[in-house]
């Protein structure tokens, strides 16, 4: 299958209500901390792979009255993003259904381009960055925050549950994605010809009882859902018995007063020369 045929059907996370809750939990203030100090009123900003727009609306607030454009290949997500912008009164935000490797914008349109957990999924990283560079002005900023599956964890858990993170990574790879993209961002930005490349890292932290309940619900409602189990077993990445065992361990983890979890991310800023 060539990259040109990559569609919503190839996107590992899918668009279920359970996974949407994970995205709804995000905001620019919590998930684009590394970028916000570089934003200023009046800038034009592209959020590519914006999903339901929960980070996007905070970016819209930061650059208002500058124009913010969000784009995602999945119409249902764009509808959610439009609703989020309308209810927040972000009239500087416009949303489009489209592919990040074929952006519907002229050359040199934006001061800033941002994405969050998107390069993890798109097969051809360099083709995407080339296209993003095309629409960003010379001297403009490109920013991305992406997951590092192998550095993410739930604790305390038996060793067997670590295989669940590996299976998630293998599933993303089977769909031609990059489960460790957060680690590879700096090298990818340098390879794409960006200058002044600055890489850092951060965690989404799940420590309070509310956080633990939230991560548990996403793990059970999304990762252990029949759709994901079917995909993983179809690719031969895990058996039904392993998923059943992981369910038991995740249930135990949730009831453990010492339960703690982190999702690891790499984040990077680069200048379009
Ligand atoms: C994990 S979600 C992240 C959404 C949002 N950035 C966030 O962090 O809340 C990844 C999004 O990228 C979109 N996506 C993946 N590949 C794409 C492509 N080639 N063109 C446009 N959107 C794409 C998916 O539809 C999905 O909404």
Model pLDDT for residues 14-61, shown as the tens digit of each residue: 787 777 777 778 899 999 999 999 999 999 999 999 999 999 999 999
Q: Is 121 in the pocket of ligand 1 (CB under 6 A)?
A: yes
Q: Token pair for residue 59? A: 């970016």
**pLDDT value at position 4?**
54
Tell me if 116 sits within 8 A of 55, measured CB to CB. Answer: yes
Map out the domains of the chain as residue ranges.
Answer: 3-268
- Determine whether 150 is exposed, middle or buried from the number of CB atoms within 10 Å of its CB (0-12, 13-18, 19+): middle
Q: Is 132 in the pocket of ligand 1 (CB under 6 A)?
A: no
SS3 58: helix
Give me the chain's average pLDDT, please. 93
Distance 160 CA to ligand 1 centre (A): 30
- Per-residue confidence at 168, pLDDT binned at 50, 70, 90? very high
Tell me if 268 sits within 8 A of 143, measured CB to CB. Answer: yes
Q: Is 55 in the pocket of ligand 1 (CB under 6 A)?
A: yes
Q: Is 133 in the pocket of ligand 1 (CB under 6 A)?
A: no
Paired sense of beta strands 93-97 and 110-116, if any: unpaired
Domain 3-268: CATH architecture, name and number where available: 3-Layer(aba) Sandwich (3.40)
Phi, psi of 256 (to 5 degrees): -85, 125
**pLDDT value at position 2?**
40
**R_g (Cα) of the chain, nearest Å:** 18
pTM over 0.85: yes
Task: Examine the pLDDT at 3 and tell me if it is beyond 80.
Answer: no
Q: Is 72 in the pocket of ligand 1 (CB under 6 A)?
A: yes
Task: Examine the pLDDT at 10 and tell me if it is beyond 80.
Answer: no
Distance 49 CA to ligand 1 centre (A): 4
Taking only the tens place, the pLDDT of each residue in 233-264 is 999 999 999 999 999 999 999 999 999 999 99
Distance 12 CA to ligand 1 centre (A): 10
| Best CA proximity match to 114, nearest among 74, 145, 139, 137 | 145
């Amino acid at each position: 299958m060539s990259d040109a045929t990559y569609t919503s059907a190839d996107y590992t996370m899918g668009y279920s209500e359970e996974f949407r809750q994970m995205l709804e939990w995000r905001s620019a203030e919590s998930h684009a901390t590394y970028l916000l100090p570089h934003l200023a009123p009046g800038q034009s900003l592209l959020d590519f792979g914006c999903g339901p727009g929960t980070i996007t609306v905070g970016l819209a607030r930061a650059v208002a009255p500058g124009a913010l454009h969000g784009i995602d290949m999945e119409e249902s997500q764009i509808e959610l993003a439009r609703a989020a912008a309308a209810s927040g009164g972000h009239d500087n935000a416009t949303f489009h259904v489209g592919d990040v490797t074929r952006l519907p914008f002229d050359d040199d349109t934006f001061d800033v381009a941002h994405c969050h957990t998107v390069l993890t999924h798109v097969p051809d990283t360099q083709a995407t960055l080339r296209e993003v560079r095309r629409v960003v002005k010379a001297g403009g900023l490109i920013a991305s925050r992406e997951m590092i599956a192998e550095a993410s964890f739930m604790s305390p858990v038996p060793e067997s549950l670590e295989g669940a993170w590996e299976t998630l990574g293998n599933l993303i790879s089977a769909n031609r994605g990059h489960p460790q993209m957060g680690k590879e961002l700096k090298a990818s930005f340098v390879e794409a010809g960006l200058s002044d490349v600055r890489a850092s890292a951060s965690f989404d932290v799940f420590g309070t009882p509310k956080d633990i309940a939230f991560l548990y619900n996403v793990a059970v409602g999304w990762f252990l859902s029949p759709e994901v189990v079917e995909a993983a077993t179809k690719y031969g990445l895990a058996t039904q018995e392993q998923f059943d065992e992981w369910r038991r361990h995740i249930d135990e983890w949730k009831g453990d007063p010492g339960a703690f979890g982190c999702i690891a991310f790499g984040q990077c800023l680069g200048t379009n020369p």
